[in-house]
Amino acid sequence: MSLYDSVMAGLALVGNLEAFLSLAIGIVIGVVGGAIPGISATMAVALALPFTFPMAPINGILLLLGVYKGGIFGGSIPAILIKTPGTPASSATILDGHPMAERGEAGRALGMALWASCTADFVSNLALIFFAGFLASFALSFGPPEFFALILFSLTIIAGVSGESLLRGALSALLGLLLATIGLDLVYGTNRFTFGDPNLMGGLNFIAVLIGLFAIPEVINMVWHPTGHVGKVQKLGSKWVTFAEYKRCFRSIIRGSFIGVFLGSIPGIGAAPAAFLSYSEARRKSPNKANFGKGEIEGVAASEAGNNGVAGATLIPLLALGVPGDVITAIIIGAFMVHGLQPGPMMFVLNVDIIYGLFIGLILSSGILFIVGGLAIRGFRPVADIPKRILMPMVLVLCIYGVFAVNNNIFDVGVMFAMGWVGFVMGRYHIPAAPFLIAFILGPLLEDNFRQSMLMSGGSPDILLRGPITWFFWTLTVISIVAITRGTLRADRAGG
Amino acid sequence: MQLRLGIGAILAAIFLVTYATPNWVSTPSNVRNIVLSPLFWPYILGGLTGLIGLGLALSGWRGDPGEPVNDPIPDPGAGAARLVGFAALMAVTFWAMPHLGMVWTSMLAFLALAFLVKTRHPAAAVICAVAVPLILYAFFAHVASVAIPQGELVRLP
Amino acid sequence: MRLKTLGALCAMSLGLAATPALAEYPERPINMVIPYGAGGATDISARTIAEPLGTAVGGTLVMSNITGAGGATGSVAVQNAKPDGYTMLFARVGSHSVNPAMKATLPYTLDDFRFVTVYEINPVACAVRPDSGIESMEDLVSLTESEGTSYSSSGVGSMLHLAAVFVLDEFGIKDPLEKATHIPQKGGGAAATAVLNGTATFLCTNSSALASFVANGQLKPLMVTTDEPVPGFDAPSASSLGKPDLRQLVGWTGIAGPDGLPDEVAAKWGEWMAEAAANEKFVEQMTARGSVIEVMSPEEANDFIETQYNTFRALVDKLGMRVEG
């Protein structure tokens, strides 16, 4: 079958109103679900799954993909408006998005988030269509030693999100690494800091930690100083993002999209690290470096580009290898199987019409996301006008429901409360929260991959340098560390 | 502040290495390789915490010019009391949730918090305190089909 | 004082609620706990039966995933729930026979649960990469004896972990823990990926988890643990290889309540399950994934799990695999 035939076969599948509607409905569900903390893209996809069983396979899968993409964008809405990421992937968006909202520029931030998301989504879809085969075989060459090197490099992001003091950033990261050790040991299955509590054996729930660290300290701060916001404008603002700004951020958006595509095509990393990496790269390259973290629109653009760049690329290992890159794609694989489709290399031979149908649908999805997202921003506008002393109790109640819903466990609500106080104290001591979060995500991956490598080699460290991919990331790590050290020393000399 | 933070981190590191890790991390007796032991990583983290603490203490002691300051608030005493009140509120909420049910508990928590910070719109606060948990319940229980804890007193449909 | 009245009130309403509840069980939605994450074998199985089961029950079933610690977090949630039949558990081979056999620190035992049924059985298959040069179980065994091999699993105390050791032990390897290295992964998907990318030599897991890789020619099955060959798997059965004991090594999904579940409730579940599992669409969807649908009565289910637990426990004790800390 020629490419033309394949495209035509795909078009025949999706060239109807039903397919289009499924995709649009999916995106709407996703944006709304993603905008509600605790629902998150993952849960929205899981909830939508049973409803797709009776649908035609392609429509059902398009609906789920719509939910996924919508959810990743939707998460940025509460991240910007109430400093509560709707989805873990949008935690990097808080760093500059929320300061912008506090300045009364929420509209601008949300607009840029939407533009960056749609651009990155489009780039990611193109990457999926053109490079699926190539990137998939590349992804399979990632074993534990390669992962270890990649994650070690990713940890150097911490320097980029540490804010004013690298030392305090590092302290924050260490705290994150320590709390991430709670739970059952990977290799021996023994208890670490669990005190025999079955709730702790599973480790601290990531979402509970995330919301506790970002949203609850806001509530506590308001309790500490209830009138602190009086006089400050917290309005959506009439200012909308301009095309000139989009053009200025375009480099960062494209860079972020590619970071997203790259990390998304490797199973097991996910959207949050991609967003942080994209953010710190944008900060490093930007002329407005000093403004990052204080409400720089380029920061919003970079983080949203990073996380939406992942959304199309996670389908690369899924379609080409049948390997899910994260929890969401694991659920989507379930949808394929229910319809009797088995993702993997054979699918490109047996169900080529579905593959091309999906590709066409995905290209459409970027456009639909732009329209739906624009409407959603207007829909969530009133949130910015709620008086803060009413809004904060609402945030508290919303977080309680949301965190409970993630794992149906009241214990997680307690974890969220406790982390809220940790976050508050960290704030008082000007310890940034972002390094904590990155370390909390990457720490277990670093340790697990290190130990898996050691198991593979029987304890010999040589395996950590076993091939070109590991050399590449080790070199990058060394370069980053040198650059960070030099930057710190220079800042020190300039300051002192 | 940097100095205090540094000393705190050093103390935490000492506690971690000498007491917490050996006592609260269990390890099988037949670990063949030290790097594979469940203890290895916590010890490394403990050591690093100590190093960072040392760095913080040194730079604080030298008098870092970039020392950050918190904005002062007009009523620190009352502020502290409010914080204690909020901590108690959280504890009560957590304890009451399985017994009273999430909906009733969060209504009470909403009200308590709104009045703790002396909202300027008490009527709106009461309306929201009733409406928000009910709407969230309706959404989570019936749209998202999550088993929201109901408690033993009054069950919602 | 107020606390006391509250407690008394609670107790009263409880007492009031308890009597009629049994008469017309279920009078409110039943919370069905799935102790594993979305997209996994247990989750898919539970959500597939949810629809016919909901019709049979005539009430609402609320599916709640409570993930963590290899199924322990969700299991404990049900263990501590009131035994009124409104909180039930989808128990799985990992959480209710391998985990209790392997972990000394597990916060529950089999006696804390009352099984109402086991409704699904999955054969286990062992697989390698097609380019690994391993063509049969014999090759795998001799390679393990000579150079040593490695296997991936979804974690310590998972069915995959025990399955690989069980198979090697049955095939006569003296010290399977020394000869073959266990490389645990986080989750079943990652375990399969580890064999795909060459991190581990082989894995033994439910045929349903391997089906798509086998169909795509990415993994080569070496053996299935049933009497009969499994459709779609070009591999001999354990019985034909002369290892009939490996038939104990199967995955299953069942439904359990807390210990102390009233007899009436258990009886109702028996009726519902018989009705739900007769649903043609359900059977078709499950068998398409390589599962065998077979509804056991509460007694059969208990016997079945007890036997499997004892087999696993004997192996764990023989090899000193028990996790004590």
Report the predicted TM-score, pTM, of the whole model to 2 decimal places: 0.82
State the nearest Cα–Cα gap between B153 and chain A, in angstroms.
18
Q: Give me the pLDDT at residue C160, please.
A: 92
pLDDT digits (tens, 9 = 90+) for B63-78: 665 566 777 777 788 8
Cross-chain Cβ contact A458/C105 below 8 Å: no
pLDDT digits (tens, 9 = 90+) for C23-71: 578 888 899 999 987 777 888 888 888 888 988 888 888 888 888 888 8
Provide the CA C119 distance to its chain's centre, in angstroms: 11
Alpha-carbon distance of B31 to C323, in angstroms, equals 12
Percent of chain A with pLDDT over 70: 93
Chain A residue closest in CA terms to B145:
A47
Q: Does the pLDDT value for residue B14 go beyond 70?
A: yes
Q: Does the pLDDT value for residue A265 go beyond 70?
A: yes
Contacts of A415 in chain C (CB under 8 A): none
Q: Are strands C149-153 and C180-184 parallel, antiparallel or unpaired?
A: parallel
Taking every pair of C-alpha atoms in chain B, what is the biggest distance, in angstroms? Answer: 67
C149: β partners? C180
Give the nearest partner residue to B66 out of A181, A459, A495, using CB atoms.
Answer: A495
Alpha-carbon distance of A196 to A217, in angstroms, equals 29
Q: How many CB atoms lie within 10 A of CB A337?
A: 20
Q: Give me the pLDDT at residue B75, please.
A: 79
Q: Give the pLDDT mean for A317-327.
A: 77
Q: Does the pLDDT value for residue C16 go beyond 60?
A: no
Q: Give me the pLDDT at residue A162, please.
A: 75
pLDDT digits (tens, 9 = 90+) for A146-192: 889 888 888 887 777 776 778 888 899 999 999 989 988 888 888 88
Mean pLDDT of chain A: 84
Cross-chain Cβ contact B146/A404 below 8 Å: yes
Contacts of A41 in chain B (CB under 8 A): none
Residue whose C-alpha is closest to residue A457's, from A439, A470, A440, A444: A470
Q: Which residue has the higher pLDDT, B118 or A348?
A: B118
Report yes or no: B99 at the C interface, CB cutoff 8 Å.
yes
Chain C residue closest in CA terms to A188:
C156
Q: Does the pLDDT value for residue A81 go beyond 50?
A: yes
Confidence of residue C6 (pLDDT cuts 50, 70, 90): very low
Q: Give me the pLDDT at residue A185, please.
A: 85
Which residue's entry shows tokens 């399955």?
C163
Alpha-carbon distance of C125 to C232, in angstroms, equals 12
Residues whose CB falls within 8 Å of the CB of residue C224, separated by 6 or more in sequence, listed in order: C123, C124, C125, C207, C230, C233, C235, C236, C237, C238
Q: Give the pLDDT mean for A103-111.
A: 87
Q: Does the pLDDT value for residue B12 go beyond 60?
A: yes
Q: Which residue has the higher pLDDT, A294 or A43?
A: A294
Q: Give me the pLDDT at residue C105, please.
A: 83
Q: Give me the pLDDT at residue C33, please.
A: 93
pLDDT digits (tens, 9 = 90+) for B38-48: 888 889 999 99
A309: β partners? none
**One-character DSSP codes across A56-101:** -HHHHHHHHHHHHHHHHHHTHHHHHHHS--SSGGGHHHHHHHHHHH
Q: Give me the pLDDT at residue C281, please.
A: 86
Q: Does the pLDDT value for residue A233 go beyond 80?
A: no
Domain residue ranges in chain B: 2-61, 76-143
Contacts of C324 in chain B (CB under 8 A): 26, 28
Give the nearest partner residue to A184 out of C47, C69, C197, using CB atoms.
Answer: C69
Confidence of residue C9 (pLDDT cuts 50, 70, 90): very low
Report the run of H or E that residue C120 belongs to, with start and end. strand C113-128
Please give the backbone phi and psi of residue A55, each rounded to the nearest 5 degrees, phi first.
-80, 165
Q: Which residue has the higher pLDDT, A222 or A346?
A: A222
Contacts of C64 in chain B (CB under 8 A): 146-147
Give the nearest partner residue to B155 out of C28, C62, C323, using CB atoms.
Answer: C28
Evaluate whether A278 touches A330 at the Cβ level (below 8 Å). Answer: no
Q: A touches which chains (3+ CB pairs under 8 A)?
A: B, C
Please give the backbone phi and psi of residue A318, each rounded to the nearest 5 degrees, phi first.
-65, -50
Contacts of C279 in chain A (CB under 8 A): none
Q: Tell me, what DSSP letter sits at residue B139?
A: I
Q: Give me the pLDDT at residue B66, please.
A: 59
Alpha-carbon distance of C192 to C195, in angstroms, equals 5
Cross-chain Cβ contact C14/B152 below 8 Å: yes
Q: Are strands C113-128 and A183-184 parallel, antiparallel or unpaired?
A: unpaired
CB pairs under 8 A between B and C: 24
Q: Does the pLDDT value for residue A45 go beyond 60?
A: yes
- Tokens describing residue A262: 């790259």
Chain B residue closest in CA terms to A412:
B94
**One-character DSSP codes across C3-51:** HHHHHHHHHHHHHHHHHHHHHT--SS-EEEEE-S-TTSHHHHHHHHHHH
Cis peptide before A226, with omega less than 30 degrees from 0? no
Residues whose CB falls within 8 Å of the CB of residue A304, separated by 6 or more in sequence, listed in order: A73, A76, A90, A93, A112, A113, A116, A117, A120, A256, A275
Report yes or no: B28 at the C interface, CB cutoff 8 Å.
yes
Give 3-state DSSP helix, strand, coil % of chain C, rounded to 5: 50, 20, 30
Q: Give me the pLDDT at residue C289, please.
A: 74
A contact residues 376-405, partner B, Cβ 8 Å cutoff: 387, 389-390, 392-394, 396-398, 400-401, 404-405
Q: Does the pLDDT value for residue C297 go beyond 50?
A: yes
Between A114-118, A238-242, A401-405, C16-20, the lowest mean confidence (pLDDT) is in C16-20
Alpha-carbon distance of A48 to B20, in angstroms, equals 44
Between A441-455, A477-491, B121-135, C8-22, the lowest mean confidence (pLDDT) is in C8-22
Confidence of residue A237 (pLDDT cuts 50, 70, 90): low
Cross-chain Cβ contact C64/B153 below 8 Å: no
Give the nearest partner residue to C62 out of B27, B28, B147, using CB atoms.
Answer: B147
Confidence of residue C177 (pLDDT cuts 50, 70, 90): confident
Q: Which residue has the higher pLDDT, B34 or A364?
A: A364
Q: Give the pLDDT mean for A379-398.
A: 82
Residue whose C-alpha is closest to residue A269's, from A132, A450, A446, A121: A446
Q: Does the pLDDT value for residue C7 go beyond 50?
A: no
Give the nearest partner residue to B52 out of A167, A400, A414, using CB atoms.
Answer: A167
Q: Give the pLDDT mean for B99-115.
A: 91
Q: Give the pLDDT mean for C275-302.
A: 86
Q: Give the pLDDT mean for C172-183.
A: 88
Residue whose C-alpha is closest to residue C34's, from C50, C12, C14, C52: C50
Q: Give me the pLDDT at residue A161, please.
A: 72
Chain C residue closest in CA terms to B155:
C28
Q: B touches which chains (3+ CB pairs under 8 A)?
A: A, C
Q: Give me the pLDDT at residue C2, please.
A: 42
Q: Give the pLDDT mean for C244-271.
A: 89
Q: Give the pLDDT mean for C167-196.
A: 88
What structural domains and CATH numbers belong to chain C? 29-121+250-319 (3.40.190.150), 123-248 (3.40.190.10)
Cross-chain Cβ contact B28/C13 below 8 Å: no
Contacts of B99 in chain C (CB under 8 A): 6, 10
